[in-house]
Each structure stands twice: as structure tokens, then as C-alpha cells.
Structure 1
């Protein structure tokens, strides 16, 4: 099934380039290309130690995580008014940030942001950056073509037992959201076998695979669902759930039946590649409305 847009996306309103603060992974490039397809240019701030050097093919500059003042000056000099933060970034220690004078003045606020979960930290960072005079956008706002839609995306559909597991998984994510815990769970035949914590989705899948291999969990191959969805209170401008071919590969290695996500609540850098990998692995990929959890 083809999931790419059938027509070119409309022009993205606004003036000047869209600024992209780029962490690791494939998403910064995917967002940059989607923005360009809508008639806007981009200017990338590449985070040292995280961003892929291949992103140097776009107009760019490199900066350290703690160099907010330096980054602000560079972005504004290029006419950037709207800013997107996208890509993987491991939680740094305060002492490793490499703070410039702007960040040093904000140190008490920064230290407070580290006392809590990822959504608390990332939302706080967004507000700090917005206070420098930028309109903060989510990747889904400037690159809506990267959002996964509702429905079965490949050749394989979930079974009734899988739909029951999906409902339970979505309900659990909604319940845990108040504690700022994870965006993903694994449910097998009505049994919650894994909840994503600080390790991330891929490591959670590896943990479940290890439990099966050691006989701690005795579920056969082709059972269970990886369910991903935003937390109810999540700031969708940052850390929206994402899927990629590696997630499909890990889910297949773990012996799951498929992957479910909240429709419009997850992004993917290349949907066609994702679906092709899922079909090849014998996994379903399905987008469901969040109301299915009720």
C-alpha cells in the first residue's frame, strides 16, 4: 500500500527559512526535505555529538547543547523566526552542557528542568528557546506529510486478539501519562509484558526478546503488539513518537505480530520503506484513533 501523499503539499506559510535544531537520526533530513517541498528554505543548527555530518549539505552551523546564546545569534542572523527541534538526543548532565553566558544566566531554571521526566525536560527547553524570540513549531506542523495516517498501512491486518491488545496498550499509555513515563508498551494476549522507560523503544523490544529467549515469557512467534502513542499531556512540539525500519526489525526479532500507533500521533521519515519492511517481516502496521482506548 502506498502511503506517500498523492499530490504535492501546499506551500508552507511564513517568511524566511525554517530553523531546524537537528539531533541524531534520519528525522532532521526528512523534515528539511518536507519543508523544502512546501516552498520554504531551511537553516539547520547541528548539535555537536548528535547530528549526522551528512546534514552539512543544507545551510547550517554546528553548536554545543549549552550554547543557546550562540545558536540564537546565528539563527536570527539568517532571518529564522520559526524553529523546529527534531532528532534523537540523550539526556545530558548539567555539567556536560558547555554553557555559554546566556545559559549560565538561566542555570537555576535549567537545573530544575532535570528534576522530572523527558516531557518535563523537553517542554521546558522549548520554552527557554521560545523566550529568545522564536515561534516554536512541531515537526508535524511544518512537515505534516511525515505523520502516519489511520488504517492498515501494509498487506497484513491485525486480528481481533491484536485489536484487543491495542486497546489495552493505548489505555495503559493514557493512564501512565500523568507520570511522564514512556510512549510505548508491548501487550501479548491481554498481558502487559513491557513498558518503555528511559531505555527507549528499541531497548524495550530487545528486553522483551531476551525474556522470550530465556523462557521468562513463553509466548510463541507472531503474538503481541508494540503500541506507540503520545502521552496525553505531551508537548507535541517535541518528542512525538516515531517509527522507522529499525523499529520494525526489532519488533520482528522480538516475535511480535505487529505495530500499532495513534493515527496522526506518530511520525516516520520514510513511510513506504517502513511498510515494505513490515510486509517483508510479516508484521502488520496499523494507525488507530485514540478513542479506541476508551
Structure 2
């Protein structure tokens, strides 16, 4: 019995999750969307297209798959109408309607379709809890000023969440220096780095905090925000005091490397209680 299907997108998360599952002795199969290859050493992934989603789901069921986990990033594929089979044709209107309503709606529809095939859709935390840490300070020290900035940033992220803008914000001395939008975390931290000398009202005041969290009401099985060593390096370049995130709601890619990078740069890493 195969057990679990890892629907792998791109980036480091599918590789890390596959490694964790292998170490735990879990039986799984890897699947990737055609045109979006994953990077998992030794994997021979099944390939599928949205236009033939129903036969793909039938195939997973025939392989003994009972649960599914999604990991990694995907761009929205172009759909070729000529490739759609009759059974998938009944699903396409639902997917196209969801495409028009943002990522959250699309992900909920995808989950619903998989569940209609009697798959249990689980999250990264269910497969590998160590990737989603609970509350605590992992590196450095958090000052009172940092805590105030993190609280303010959490309020901002919660406010923009329902608008599906982004999952992060940078706050220093109580002021919002930047919010995450479509260009992503790297672009936001790059903006802060490029304008650091002009953004903070008091050069001797708090350096600022980058905060990350899921959207309010987000399905925690899908599209959790991620942080990795590169994020720590970019936060250091932006002159920030540290990174905070919602405990239990953010995936850490290579926690040990993140801690080492933070300690080298003098930043704190804080999984903050919601």
C-alpha cells in the first residue's frame, strides 16, 4: 500500500518533506504537475495535468493512496481545452470559477475535489511536526521594543489577510515599513534594506521586526507561509532586530541553518503565540 501522495511543487519544501517521510519509514508516492518539476533526489514522480485530473485521481486511488499532502509552490497552469477528458470536464467550471477568486478559494476547491475521491488531505504539520515549531525563542533575545513591534506587525498581517495581499509585514518603532505583496518576502525585505536609512524615525531606536503568519481563517493544511536561512540573511541585510512568526503556523526550512545564520548575524528568531 502506497499510503500517502506528496503533491510536490517547486522549492525546498517538497524535498525536505520527502526526506522526513523517508526517515520516518512512511510509504509515499511523489506526484508533480507537468511543467512544474520538483527537485526530490531519487524520486520518479507521477506527472499529471489539470485537464486530466479525474484519471489522475483514479490512478492514485488504484495505487492505494489514502491521504494527500501538498507542498511547494506552483504557478497557475494554462489549460488546453482540447486535452480535457469528459469526467474532468465536470470539474473544470469549478476550478475556473475558483481561479477568479484568489488563491484561498482555489485551494479550498482543490481540497474539496480530492476529498470527493475519499482522500484525506493533511498538512505538512501532520506529516512532519518538526517543520512547524511551537511557541518559543529559537535564537537571540527579544526586547520589549521588539515585542511591541511584533504585536503591531501581527495586527497588520491579520488586517491584510482577508484581502489576500500577503502574509508578512515589517514594523520598526511602531511604524509599518513594508507589507508583503505579490512580489513576495524577498522583494519586501529588499525594499527595507534599500531604504533603511530613511524609514526609521529614530536612528537610535528599535531596528524593527519582520513578522509572518497565515491568513486569518486559512486552511492550515495548504499554503502555509515558509521561512528559511535566506530569509534570515535578507532580514539581517535589512538591518532588522529579528524575525517573529505565528507559532504553529509557519514552516521552517532547515531550522538548524536558520538558527546558525541568526546567531551569526545577531538576530532573534521567535515563534510567537497568536
- For normalisation by structure 1, the TM-score amounts to 0.83
Q: Partner of 2:29 in structure 1?
A: 43
Q: How does 1:162-181 map to 2 (within 5 A)?
A: 162-181=146-165
Q: Partner of 1:17 in structure 2?
A: 3
Q: Partner of 1:135 in structure 2?
A: 120
The yes-or-no answer on 1:223 pairing with 2:207 is yes
Pairwise CA distance, 1:285: 0.5
Q: Distance in 2 between matches of 1:97 and 1:243?
A: 37
CA 1:104/1:234 → structure 2, altered by over 3 Å: closer, same or farther? Answer: same
Q: Partner of 1:90 in structure 2?
A: 75
CA 1:209/1:90 → structure 2, altered by over 3 Å: closer, same or farther? Answer: farther
| Higher alpha-carbon deviation: 280-289 or 123-132 | 123-132
CA 1:163/1:98 → structure 2, altered by over 3 Å: closer, same or farther? Answer: farther
- Secondary structure at the aligned position of 2:271 is classed as strand
Q: Partner of 1:60 in structure 2?
A: 45
Q: How does 1:18-33 map to 2 (within 5 A)?
A: 18-33=4-19
8 Å CA contact 2:132, 2:248 repeated in 1: yes
Q: Partner of 1:118 in structure 2?
A: 103
8 Å CA contact 1:64, 1:97 repeated in 2: no
2:266 corresponds, among 272, 282, 294, to 282
8 Å CA contact 1:19, 1:42 repeated in 2: yes
Q: Partner of 1:11 in structure 2?
A: none
RMSD, aligned CA? 2.4
Listed one character per residue, the Cα deviations across residues 164-189 of structure 1 (whole Å, up to 9, x for unaligned) are 00011112222233223311111111
Q: Which runs of 5+ in 1 are unaligned?
A: 1-14
Q: Partner of 2:233 in structure 1?
A: 249
- Secondary structure at the aligned position of 1:274 is classed as helix
Q: Partner of 1:104 in structure 2?
A: 89
CA 1:103/1:283 → structure 2, altered by over 3 Å: closer, same or farther? Answer: farther
Q: Partner of 1:8 in structure 2?
A: none
8 Å CA contact 2:228, 2:254 repeated in 1: yes
CA 1:200/1:133 → structure 2, altered by over 3 Å: closer, same or farther? Answer: same
Q: Distance in 1 between matches of 2:82 and 2:260?
A: 42
Pairwise CA distance, 1:193: 1.5
Pairwise CA distance, 1:113: 0.7
- Secondary structure at the aligned position of 2:57 is classed as helix
Q: Partner of 1:78 in structure 2?
A: 63
CA 1:77/1:195 → structure 2, altered by over 3 Å: closer, same or farther? Answer: same
Q: Partner of 2:184 in structure 1?
A: 200
Q: Distance in 2 between matches of 1:97 and 1:177?
A: 33
Q: Distance in 2 between matches of 1:122 and 1:99?
A: 22
Q: How many residues align?
A: 272
- For normalisation by structure 2, the TM-score amounts to 0.89
CA 1:278/1:97 → structure 2, altered by over 3 Å: closer, same or farther? Answer: farther
2:131 corresponds, among 128, 137, 146, to 146
- Secondary structure at the aligned position of 1:153 is classed as strand
CA 1:98/1:169 → structure 2, altered by over 3 Å: closer, same or farther? Answer: farther
Q: Distance in 2 between matches of 1:210 and 1:283?
A: 19
